[in-house]
């Protein structure tokens, strides 16, 4: 029997993302879940909640996408790959802004992460072809993970697309066009398919089967459970030998 020496886990906190369609209730449920936690995570707003903006590069990048997409609710400006790279840069900026908190051991919950970018941009690159979109979404996640580490845990909140559409329209006091509604239905399916490709990272809350109390409790338990024994966070583009971004430990020591 070989005994592998166990190194202490990294001192960082877990990075968790909440994903899902507009109107599916991910922000509401995540906020409810967090109310039940003793140590409050740092919550990072999703794109749509930043309409009035905070200063900083992330906001400036988001503003440029808004302007180029002329009011489209999904920030579609006609050049999906360029938009994908800008959205990944925004998510990298988000990570940069939370690194001190993450390094100090605090839980960070981001509303939408790179999965939203992978799903939406893949659909734009393959209109009407969900199978091809899934392949591209997986590839886009691979690209995103060379910009920044993926979340330790991703909670996908899903539901009947028509219910999410109703909620989003009521909340935003708008009526989606048929084309926009079709885009949302396809995104709903693709989120679920993408989650199924990586069961280690994703946890799925399906509102077709559980009520909001059960959903919030489930999310709370998942957030609480991800804490212990996290590995170090190494810059994906730095290669072997890089130090952990959070605790500074060297990669050789981590794998020794």
Which residue number, 38 or 228, has a Cβ lying nearer to Zn ion? 228
Q: What is the 3-state secondary structure (H, E, C) of 79-93?
A: CHHHHHHHHHHHHHH
Calpha distance 36→58 (Å, rounded): 30
Shortest distance, CB of residue 234 to Zn ion, whole angstroms?
Answer: 8
Calpha distance 165→191 (Å, rounded): 15
Which residue number, 184 or 244, has a Cβ lying nearer to Zn ion? 244
Calpha distance 143→135 (Å, rounded): 13
Which residue number, 190 or 244, has a Cβ lying nearer to Zn ion? 244
Which residue number, 219 or 232, has a Cβ lying nearer to Zn ion? 232
**Where on the chain is the footprint of Zn ion (CB under 5 A)?**
10, 232, 244, 246-247, 249
Shortest distance, CB of residue 115 to Zn ion, whole angstroms?
Answer: 24
Shortest distance, CB of residue 104 to Zn ion, whole angstroms?
Answer: 12
Beta bridge pairs of residue 206:
158
Q: CB–CB of 157/207 below 8 Å?
A: yes
In this structure, is the dihedral angle defined by the CA atoms of residues 56, 153, 180 and 134, taken in order, positive or negative? Answer: positive
Q: Where are the beta strands (DSSP E) in the chain?
A: 15-19, 42-44, 108-111, 153-158, 202-206
Shortest distance, CB of residue 42 to Zn ion, whole angstroms?
Answer: 18
Of residues 253, 232, 236, the one with CA closest to residue 102: 232
Tokens of 68: 């180029």
Shortest distance, CB of residue 241 to Zn ion, whole angstroms?
Answer: 14
Shortest distance, CB of residue 11 to Zn ion, whole angstroms?
Answer: 7
Which residue number, 163 or 249, has a Cβ lying nearer to Zn ion? 249
Which residue number, 167 or 249, has a Cβ lying nearer to Zn ion? 249
């Amino acid at each position: 029997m070989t005994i592998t020496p166990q190194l202490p886990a990294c001192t960082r906190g877990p990075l968790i993302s909440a994903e899902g369609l507009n109107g599916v209730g991910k922000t509401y449920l995540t906020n409810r879940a967090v109310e039940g936690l003793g140590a409050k995570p740092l919550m990072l707003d999703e794109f749509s909640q930043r309409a009035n903006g905070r200063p900083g590069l992330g906001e400036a990048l988001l503003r440029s996408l808004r302007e180029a997409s002329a009011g489209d609710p999904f920030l579609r400006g006609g050049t999906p790959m360029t938009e994908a790279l800008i959205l990944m840069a925004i998510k990298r900026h988000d990570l940069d802004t939370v690194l001190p908190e993450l390094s100090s051991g605090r839980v960070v919950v981001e509303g939408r992460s790179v999965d939203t970018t992978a799903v939406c941009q893949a659909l734009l690159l393959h209109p009407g072809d969900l199978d091809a979109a899934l392949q591209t979404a997986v590839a886009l996640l691979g690209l995103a993970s060379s910009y920044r580490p993926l979340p330790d845990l991703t909670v996908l909140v899903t539901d009947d697309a028509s219910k999410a559409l109703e909620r989003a329209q009521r909340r935003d006091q708008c009526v989606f066009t048929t084309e926009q509604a079709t885009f949302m239905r396809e995104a709903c399916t693709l989120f679920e398919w993408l989650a199924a490709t990586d069961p280690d990272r994703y946890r799925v809350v399906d509102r077709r089967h559980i009520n909001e109390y059960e959903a919030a409790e489930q999310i709370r338990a998942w957030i609480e459970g991800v804490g212990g024994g996290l590995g170090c966070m190494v810059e994906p583009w730095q290669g072997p030998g890089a130090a952990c971004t959070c605790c500074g430990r060297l990669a050789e020591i981590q794998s020794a």
